[in-house]
Amino acid sequence: MGYHYISIEKNVAVFELYKVLWQAHGISGIRVDTMTGGIKKAVEVEKSVADELYFISIAADDIDFMPQLKILSAETNAPILIAVSKARYSEKEHHEALKSGADFYAPFCDMSENNINAVLSVIEGINQRARKRKAPNRGIIAHGDILIIANNHTAYINDKALALTGAEMKILHYMMINRGNVLGHSQICRNVYDDYDDISCLYSAVKRLRKKIKDVAQADYIETVRDVGYRLITTRRL
């Protein structure tokens, strides 16, 4: 079995430095740029029978971690550790992070080895207490830049939340599970409106959904297939 940690940070050079140091402990590093990417990768690793997720680290100076921290905590059993610069550290954020699911929040140490020792101490403490963590919901669908959490009707694009109505969420959810495929108008209506085949309602809802996505992402993810229906493209299309 291979042991891994996920590093949610944008600084490639820092990641590569720590990756080498962690390899000496038999732990391989996986870097992602966003919380969305971290959630997707955590689910992927924990579903693997060949790999074990050892911990997740978040470089909070680079990442807006708070909006999706609760989701990350719900979707993984691995300890979540947040490191910030001494200038960024605040008691308010510290308490909020711990309440939202982080296991550890502290400033970076001056030396790399001290950071690693701090992580090992935290994880050992968690293991010794045999702290029970909530079982993952596995209610997420993630692909490309889009992540939706079907169980609590929320959606994100590149870590930015979408405020959707029930119908808009159903449409996006149905498009996500059929991403890349052309979906006919009647087909979407049957699956979103419980067989109520009102194309005009669908047109209005998709128009609102498309605008909300564009307002957040500054890009279009829904392709109109003329006289047929729609297709969801899960990478940004300007």
CA dihedral over 30, 63, 145, 40, signed as positive or negative: positive
Output the pTM of the full model: 0.64
Separation between Cα atoms, residue 125 and residue 115, nearest integer Å = 15
- Residue 167's CB is within 10 A of a number of other CB atoms, namely 17
- Helix, coil or strand: residue 125: helix
Separation between Cα atoms, residue 16 and residue 236, nearest integer Å = 28
> Which residues contact residue 83 at a Cβ distance below 8 angstroms, ignoring those fewer than 6 apart?
57, 58, 59, 60, 106, 107, 108, 115
What is the CATH number assigned to the segment(s) 140-237? Answer: 1.10.10.10
Task: List 220's β-bridge partners, or say none.
Answer: 237
Q: Which of 7-16, 124-133, 206-215 has the lowest mean pLDDT?
A: 124-133
* CATH number among 3.40.50.2300, 3.10.620.30, 3.30.420.40, 3.40.50.880, domain 2-129: 3.40.50.2300
pLDDT the model gives residue 131: 45
CA dihedral over 171, 177, 178, 180, signed as positive or negative: positive
Separation between Cα atoms, residue 82 and residue 59, nearest integer Å = 6
Residue ranges per domain, the chain? Answer: 2-129, 140-237
Read off the pLDDT of residues 176-194 as tens digits, 9 standing for 90 and up: 988 888 898 888 888 887 7
pLDDT the model gives residue 189: 87
pLDDT the model gives residue 130: 46
Domains 2-129 and 140-237 share a fold: no
pLDDT the model gives residue 60: 93
